Structure 1
């Protein structure tokens, strides 16, 4: 005879964080009837409010190409506006949209361990684009066609134009038949970059990062003892730990890949750091270049 009381007693306790959430829709072409989920918003019973993007930058790039940055700026404007409304009004109702084409879905109740967990549920239930893998493979030595590398470089040059000449540098060795392509190579530092994004291509990008670590090692071993560079580093783009558009399992997978890269770099005194934005990566590179 089945002991239902015993079975029920083995079930884990339900999460105790309660909140309501809504999808934020945008109609890109007015009166077309087409809507995409650009963000999700949660309002906890404890009063905590949080709005996060449900459309990643690489997806927007795949869909809108050169118009993707203005499109992401629109999403940020909508997020900031709704965040302010929830912080001050504590309700989804009566939000004054910053521009036309925005609409909130019906509020739904959810349980999770925290508000980020609620937002992750919201993304998985309302934003199909977040699950699609638009990220195209990148050639190991071809930083030119790497959207992350281009954004990183452009942000550095916007802050320090005189550093432009050090990007996509070539490094020649007597023992190699080919020149290495290094992301940033100045007299002071050697920096390569890559990315780790959850999805079907994550192992491929991990291999790219390992290869770029080896290129840094080649630079380090062949630059000469008379004028060695002060620092050799791989800066890897990764989603933030609280990025609601990825699950906890996906974030843990990223952590594991980052740890593996750190282990490989530590063996040769090559540092591996991560960045969650081009601005974050730029601050790191400028700090290294200035010697701090």
Structure 2
């Protein structure tokens, strides 16, 4: 921090700790320095034991539970669509050198997807949860693994924008949040699909795998 204040660059910084060096520059996006620091930790092999699952302990628990229920619902719906794909849900991958595995919603062949849920009553916390899922996909995509999927996608569950129980303000907020997620995903070449039901999501996944 002192080096940045004095020279506005870390280019000439000499680490006081042996073995610690400055890596390549990586573009990061976050609402604050804490979010950016989490990304830096995730991309550092020596710090990768600090998994995102631990980082998320301070997040709102309810949206996370909603998201987990959404994932289980898609898996349950897949039993009717294509039972052979059930075992591809909840796959874990070790992305760093440390013995820490990251869970992904679905992974089959060249396709990997994570699931997020936008809850109208908890949009801010829901958005944070979705961004974490996107970060997992981004980390997987940029990892040094030799064998990994070629297509990454985030599947977002949300109520219909024509749902009569939603107010105009709620619909606008849903649209705005979805647009933001779309921009983040597009920047990292991660595909995006919005589903209004677990059945719709399951059919979409089945079509992606069959393509």
TM-score by length of 2: 0.66
Q: Which residue of 2 aligns with 1:99?
A: none
> Please, what is the CA RMSD of the aligned residues?
2.2
2:94 aligned to which of 172, 177, 198: 172
Q: Which residue of 2 aligns with 1:254?
A: 174
2:114 aligned to which of 192, 213, 228: 192
1:285 is paired with a residue of what secondary structure?
helix
Q: Which residue of 2 aligns with 1:287?
A: 207
Query: Cα distance 1:223–1:289, how it changes in 2: closer, same or farther (>3 A)?
Result: farther
- Structure with a larger share of its residues in strand: 1
Structure 2 regions of 5+ residues with no counterpart?
1-59
Following TM superposition, the consecutive aligned residue runs of length 4 or more in structure 1 with deviations greater than 4 angstroms are none
Using the TM superposition, give the Cα deviation of residue 146 of structure 1 relative to its aligned residue in structure 2, in angstroms.
2.1
2:188 aligned to which of 259, 268, 279: 268
1:137 is paired with a residue of what secondary structure?
helix
Partners of 1:160 and 1:173 in 2: CA distance? 29
Q: Report if the CA contact (8 A) 2:95-2:145 is conserved.
A: no
Q: Which residue of 1 aligns with 2:151?
A: 231
Deviations 1:89-122, CA, capped at 9 Å, x for gaps: xxxxxxxxxxxxxxxxxxxxxxxxxxxxxxxxxx
- Structure number with greater Rg is 1
2:81 aligned to which of 159, 164, 171: 159
Q: Which residue of 2 aligns with 1:150?
A: 72
Q: Which residue of 2 aligns with 1:220?
A: 141
- Structure with a larger share of its residues in helix: 2
2:120 is paired with a residue of what secondary structure?
coil
Partners of 2:144 and 2:200 in 1: CA distance? 28
Q: How many correspondences in the alignment?
A: 152
Q: Report if the CA contact (8 A) 2:63-2:119 is conserved.
A: no
1:240 is paired with a residue of what secondary structure?
coil
